[in-house]
């Protein structure tokens, strides 16, 4: 009889532990919305970093460097889903590439 009680007790403890782990896991897991928001923030940060690189290329690089960097900034904002900044940087890219004599 003690053996059966200890087996039942062990099974109940195991079930309780699994239940607690499932509950804690559901709170620890980010939602799909949180994941999407995090990815959007990362993409926006990347685009902003490309923009800083463009500024550096404007100070120290050639017109071709500016043309290339402006295209990267535009692509970064496209990936981030920021259509207004994408359009703005496509215009900058057009001007810089034309000034560099780059045909596209």
Predicted local distance difference test score (pLDDT) of residue 53: 94
Q: Using alpha carbons, list the distances in angstroms from residue 1 to 4, 9, 15, 16.
A: 5, 12, 21, 23
Instruction: pLDDT band for 34, please (50, 70, 90 cuts).
Output: confident
Q: What is the pLDDT of residues 54-66, one digit of tens each?
A: 999 999 999 999 9
pLDDT of 8 higher than 70: no
Burial class, 50, CB count within 10 angstroms (exposed 0-12 / middle 13-18 / buried 19+):
buried
Predicted local distance difference test score (pLDDT) of residue 3: 64
Q: How many whole angstroms separate alpha carbon 72 and alpha carbon 35?
A: 24
Q: How many whole angstroms separate alpha carbon 17 and alpha carbon 24?
A: 10
Instruction: Supply the angle between the helices 32-60 and 63-80 in degrees, to the nearest 10.
Output: 170
Q: Are 74 and 96 in contact (CB under 8 A)?
A: no
State the average pLDDT over residues 25-40.
80
Predicted local distance difference test score (pLDDT) of residue 25: 66
Instruction: pLDDT band for 7, please (50, 70, 90 cuts).
Output: low
Q: Is residue 102 left, alpha or beta, with left meaning phi > 0 and alpha meaning psi from -120 to 50?
A: beta
pLDDT of 27 higher than 80: no
């Amino acid at each position: 009889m003690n053996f059966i009680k200890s087996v039942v007790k062990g099974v109940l403890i195991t079930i309780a532990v699994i239940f607690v782990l499932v509950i804690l896991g559901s709170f620890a897991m980010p939602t799909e919305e949180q994941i999407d928001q995090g990815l959007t923030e990362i993409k926006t940060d990347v685009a902003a970093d490309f923009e800083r690189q463009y500024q550096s290329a404007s100070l120290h690089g050639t017109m071709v460097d500016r043309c290339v960097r402006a295209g990267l900034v535009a692509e970064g904002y496209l990936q981030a889903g920021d259509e207004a900044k994408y359009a703005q940087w496509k215009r900058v890219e057009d001007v810089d590439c034309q000034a560099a004599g780059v045909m596209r």
